[in-house]
Amino acid sequence: MYRKILMISSFSLILLQGCSALNSQVVAVDSYSTMQMSGGTYYLSTRTPGLQLQQQSFEIMLQNMLSTKGYTRTFSPQNSMYNIVYNYSIRGPYTNFESYPVPVNPWWNGPYDGIYNGFYGDMWANSISASTYFVKRLELSAYNKNSAVWQVVGSLKSEDGNLRTSFPYLVSGISNYINTNSNKIIYVNVNQDSKTGQYIATQSNF
């Protein structure tokens, strides 16, 4: 069961890399649950090395999200019902290539933009553009007496390698899939309310 719950991490990454149209506000989510259990006390930890202050800010976001699901954080693993482990990563940079047709002006045998003396050429050529992106991932796993209870993984594409700007989107994207079986990759659109600053997650049509 433990091996099965970890397989969703690499699987969601593969599907995310194949979706070139996704932007940095769309989170690809995959979740798995071995049993339906109510919330309770938990001890939060990570196996990912990182800056202490940055991880503290990450943990506050996770703590606030988990509190809405009925989970209460404790700072003693012996007195907690669950051990919840979060891990995160940034992969890349990757390069995405896109090909599209452009008209060719026969007078100088090259692509051009617009009209030259009112003449549009009938010849077309393929032009290729390249863009660079990173894949950022957040993995949240819950254990009860060393037995896996649930796991949820969120991934998104971003033009930069800074996780701090994307972490709130990842947390909001996975929030509705705690202790659930998604049975597939679900794409969640996350927007920040300009007035309240809150992040709002809705299922996307991707």
| Domain 2-11+23-92+134-203 indexed as CATH 3.30.160.100 | yes
User: Predicted confidence band at 8 (pLDDT cuts at 50, 70, 90)?
Assistant: very low
DSSP string, 63-94: HHHHHTTT-EEES-GGG-SEEEEEEEEEEEEE
Q: Region 61-72: what's the mean pLDDT?
A: 98
Residue 40, pLDDT > 90, answer: yes
Contact 166, 156 (CB under 8 A): yes
More confident residue, 37 or 89: 89
Location of structure tokens 């998604």: 182
Q: Region 176-180: what's the mean pLDDT?
A: 96
Residue 198, pLDDT > 70, answer: yes
pTM for the full predicted model: 0.79
Domain boundaries, the chain: 2-11+23-92+134-203
List alpha helices for the chain, DSSP H.
2-17, 52-67, 163-174
The predicted structure's pLDDT at residue 206: 65
Q: Is 179 left (phi over 0), alpha (psi -120 to 50) or beta?
A: left
Q: Which of 45-59, 116-130, 131-145, 168-182 has the lowest mean pLDDT?
A: 116-130
Q: What percentage of the chain carries pLDDT values higher than 70?
A: 77
Q: Which of 15-19, 25-29, 102-106, 180-184 has the lowest mean pLDDT?
A: 15-19
Handedness of CA 121, 122, 126, 131 (dihedral sign): positive
